[in-house]
């Protein structure tokens, strides 16, 4: 009981800091419609969330995080610009690690502001950093937008680009696709036989499962189209690998990415955003000279992040998850905005972990 009270007190302290910055306190339901999250992330989310259902409301999930319901609320009723804060429990299944909590408090801060995204990124990062000042933490940063821009600039088909974008958050699958599209990996013999057959439906055997013959035929046509597409060049693969290998202090990373952009101009805009963000962070007192930047960071986070991403980690407690994390999710506002959109960025802190580390001095 004393520890639970301490966690609640820490959550109240954090939320008061966010309110002092002009954030409006909001609440969201603990039970969230599962359909929205499944549409956004596919069936993968089932492995990380508690799902229930009833005849009237259909499938529901215990709230896995706050960002999606806060975005829905803002896109339906919010004014511009807007800042929100929230505090409450989230629920995550932990079937592979019984020591990790499956229910814990989050306190968050979200900014919806289209005027200056770089300044908003710096605002969220510096506010969370200041709220945790005094704890032995290491900050990590990245930018999913750079890799997304690199994929968009590849000289390949729109269908291949879409597949790569979809799997950015699944590094092993992403690498397998790059190997296949570049010709480094052989097509499976069964697939090669299927698309080369004059009667692929007959070669596939009897129709079973839930897909109709028309859907199967469409899939075979897609595979045939992909087989005829020229491979992604070795040079482009090398540039992608160069981006993914960037792991440096922010200033050095910026120079490395600028060098890569000479041969891959599609990332120029994203690299410029990184430079603008660093300037905005510096203006807020963040020491960007020693700030870690990793181009592949955030690829195991929530899939709605599409730009700046960050996390704060306990330096001497590798067993702990991030004490705080967050990032930019502009595309999510487009998906949930029914035609409207607004740049948005936010972050969350786990007050229970702050207490476990001894609390902010």
Q: What is the pLDDT of residue 48?
A: 77
> CA-based Rg of the chain, rounded to a whole angstrom?
22
Asked if the peptide bond before residue 81 counts as cis, ω within 30 degrees of 0, the response is: yes
Q: What is the pTM of this model?
A: 0.88
Distance CA 221, CA 8 (A): 57
Strands 344-349 and 324-328: antiparallel
Amino acid 92: pLDDT:
82
CA distance 329 to 346: 8
Q: What's the structural domain count of the chain?
A: 1
Could you list the beta-strand ranges (E) of 162-297. Answer: 247-249, 292-294
Query: Looking at the domain assignment, is residue 180 inside a domain?
Result: yes
Q: According to the model, what pLDDT value does residue 340 have?
A: 87
Q: How would you classify the pairing of strands 137-143 and 247-249?
A: unpaired
Whether 255 is in a domain gets the answer: no
Give the pLDDT of residue 195.
Answer: 55
Does residue 227 lie in a domain region? yes
Has residue 207 been placed in a domain?
yes
Each residue's pLDDT, cut to its tens digit, for the chain (361 residues) gives: 558 899 999 999 999 999 999 999 999 999 988 888 777 776 666 777 888 888 888 888 888 889 999 999 999 888 889 999 999 999 988 766 667 778 899 999 999 999 999 999 999 999 999 999 999 999 999 999 999 999 999 999 999 999 999 899 889 999 999 999 998 766 665 555 555 555 555 555 566 656 666 666 666 666 667 776 899 999 999 999 999 999 999 999 999 999 999 999 999 999 999 999 999 999 999 999 999 999 999 987 767 899 999 999 999 898 899 999 999 999 999 988 887 899 999 999 999 999 999 989 8
Tokens of 106: 């989050």
- The DSSP line for 60-71 is EEE-S-SHHHHH
* DSSP labels, 84-124: EEEEEEEE---TT-TTS-SEEEEEEEEEE-SS-HHHHHHHH
Whether residue 167 lies inside any domain: the answer is yes
- What angle do helix axes 158-166 and 171-181 make, rounded to 10 degrees? 160
Contacts of 269 (CB under 8 A, 6+ apart): 149
**Dihedral over Cα of 309, 313, 319, 320: its sign:** negative
Rounded Cα distance, 172 and 155, in Å: 22
Rounded CA separation 99/175 (Å)? 31
Domain extent, residue 215, equals 157-232
In 3D, which of 65, 86, 69 has the Cα closest to residue 15? Answer: 86
Q: Does residue 129 belong to any structural domain of this protein?
A: no
Residues sharing a CB contact under 8 Å with residue 193, sequence separation 6 or more, in sequence order: 203
Location of structure tokens 């940063």: 141
Asked whether residue 162 is assigned to any structural domain, the reply reads yes
Is residue 295 a contact partner of residue 289, using CB atoms and an 8 Å limit? no
CA–CA separation, 322 vs 136, rounded Å? 12
Distance of alpha carbon 307 from alpha carbon 143, whole angstroms: 5
Specify the 3-state DSSP secondary structure of 26: coil
CB 40 within 8 A of CB 303: yes
């Amino acid at each position: 009981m004393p520890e639970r009270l301490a966690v609640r007190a820490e959550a109240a302290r954090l939320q008061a800091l966010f309110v002092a910055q002009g954030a409006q306190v909001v609440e969201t339901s603990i039970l969230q419609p599962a359909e929205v999250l499944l549409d956004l992330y596919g069936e993968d989310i089932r492995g990380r969330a508690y799902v229930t259902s009833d005849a009237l409301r259909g499938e529901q999930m215990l709230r896995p995080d706050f960002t999606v319901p806060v975005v829905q609320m803002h896109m339906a009723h919010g004014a511009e610009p807007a800042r929100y804060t929230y505090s409450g429990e989230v629920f995550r299944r932990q079937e592979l690690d019984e020591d990790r909590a499956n229910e814990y408090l989050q306190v968050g801060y979200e900014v919806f502001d289209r005027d200056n995204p770089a300044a908003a990124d710096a605002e969220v990062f510096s506010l969370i950093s200041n709220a945790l000042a005094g704890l032995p933490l290491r900050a990590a940063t990245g930018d999913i937008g750079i890799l997304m821009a690199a994929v968009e600039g590849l000289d390949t088909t729109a269908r291949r680009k879409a597949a790569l974008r979809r799997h950015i958050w699944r590094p092993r699958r992403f690498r397998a696709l790059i190997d296949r599209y570049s010709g480094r990996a052989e097509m499976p013999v069964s697939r090669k036989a299927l698309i080369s057959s004059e009667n692929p439906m007959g070669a596939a055997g009897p129709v079973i499962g839930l897909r109709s013959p028309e859907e199967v035929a469409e899939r075979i046509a897609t595979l045939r189209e992909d087989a005829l597409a020229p491979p992604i060049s070795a040079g482009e693969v090398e540039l992608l690998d160069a981006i993914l290998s960037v792991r440096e202090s922010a200033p050095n990373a910026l120079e490395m990415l600028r060098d890569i952009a000479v041969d891959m101009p599609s990332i120029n805009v994203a690299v410029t955003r990184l430079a603008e963000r660093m300037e905005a962070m510096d203006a807020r007192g963040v020491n960007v000279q020693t700030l870690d930047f990793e181009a592949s960071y955030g690829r195991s986070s929530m899939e709605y992040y599409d730009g700046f991403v960050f996390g704060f980690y306990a330096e001497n407690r590798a067993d702990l998850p991030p004490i705080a994390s967050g990032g930019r999710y502009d595309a999510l506002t487009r998906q949930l905005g029914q035609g409207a959109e607004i740049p948005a960025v936010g972050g969350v802190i786990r007050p229970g972990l702050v207490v476990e580390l001894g609390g902010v001095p």
